[in-house]
Structure 1
Amino acid sequence: MKRFWSFLVKSLRVRFFLILFITGLFSCMIMQSAILTNYKDRAIEVKKNEVQTQLRILANHLITYNYMQDPSSAIVQAELTLLANLYDGRVLIIGDDLQVITDTYGKREGKTIISEEVVNCLRKGSDGVATVYDNKNGYLEITTPIIETAGIGDGDYLSSEAQSKEVVKGVMLTSVSTANIEKTMEILNNKALVIEVIVIMLILVFSLVASKALLKPFDRITSKLNEMKAGFTDEPLSVPDYIETEHIVDAFNQLQGRMKV
């Protein structure tokens, strides 16, 4: 047993095998992790942009139908319900006094909500748009301002002197589920695991074959030295496969030549 472990520790063939196998294994694992992480980040970014586009359209409708002053529009209510159901989420319409006008869950209407993202959105308008991804609970929280653009100045709307001013009427606080992304990630992880096992088996076979092939020239040197020791041949050694084997063989041939003299 001791000799076996000594062979494993000192064997160049085993070391070649371990180096090739471990390098291939870690490369495979790192590549899998990088691809899946990149996919998840990209999927979340696409979903965020998609939802933000829908929210901007909805924010314009809130202004068009004067929803902030009269939240009885059936059209807007239908759009809010559709958006919440489409993205498996929740939408809160918050006025500029931080009071919840509409909650698609119907739990916080009439209550005051104090949130850093909401306050920043009311103060900064378009610059206050914020997106927070909660990886633990699996949802995106998007803060979108409800903006009414008011024209100011003496010039007409074609004049370069005409200006517009953003008036923030409220904020939409939207929570969107990322369960579909997580489900897709789970499926991809399972498929990636199967592929990874197959690749690892191929790496294992390649490492075994490569480590054996790389050390064949040294095996030939050992074999020829044994033949010379047994007296079967006295011809000079020649193993030109590697520079290292050439150096070893040249040194041995020179030593053998001196011993004959």
Structure 2
Amino acid sequence: MSRKLTVVTHLGPDDVLFGKGSPSCGNSGNIRFRAVVKLLLPLYVSTPRRSEKDRLARAVVDIIKSRNGRFLRRIHSPSEADRLNLATYEGVWLLVDEKLMIPKVKQTFRDQHSGASKIEAPSAWQVSEIDAGLNRRNTSIPLSALLSPRFLPSQEFQNGNAVPTQRLGIELRQQMPFNANVVLQYLQQQVHQQRYPVPFVEPIRTRQMMYSKPTSPKIDDGLQLLAVAASRSTRSTLPCPKVLPSETSKNESTAK
């Protein structure tokens, strides 16, 4: 009996598209997906066992799904559309089988690890912008600023704040097996300890990313996958991807 296929014609903001180039490269879900993979790359590289790499990849899949994200592949030919009794193949996607999602995540880890240009450090200008935003006030970021109700329960934390800990990498793996909560905790530690700045991406001209200065580097909204709240309380500690530097300075001058 043939497997039932799910046809998708409308993409969600957290959907991850298979394939390289357009439209996968500029898709908002792929941008967030790559940002999370980049933050988790040191943990993946330091994981020696294949089974642990699989569990880490599974945790990433679970995080995507917790945001109602899906893994989709495009229909590329009229013949495939005919087999599915579809009138057209343009703009039509198929839900990827569960067994193909983990290899997709692991391949993205390998691509970022092998391609130096894909994981090169941010420029000094980018780092200074991040440091200015984080050091302007208290750098202690409450967990509520990073986790939204749409995410998995954060029972690994106490009273809404991240528990201070130095458990990273191998020490973290010794405490508990990989799951979505553990991966979220690791990402939270990365942000708290500023081991990695907020991820940046090259400017991409899409309808979802409209900026007045497309030539300047922009903060990737990958941390929105970690649910950075857009409230006033969090804007004082984390740079908001939706606010342009010119608008920020204008608001500060008005407040004064």
Asked if TM exceeds 0.5, the reply is no
With a CA cutoff of 8 Å and minimum separation of 6, indicate the structure with the bigger relative contact order: 2
Q: Report the TM-score when normalising by structure 1.
A: 0.19
Larger Rg: 1
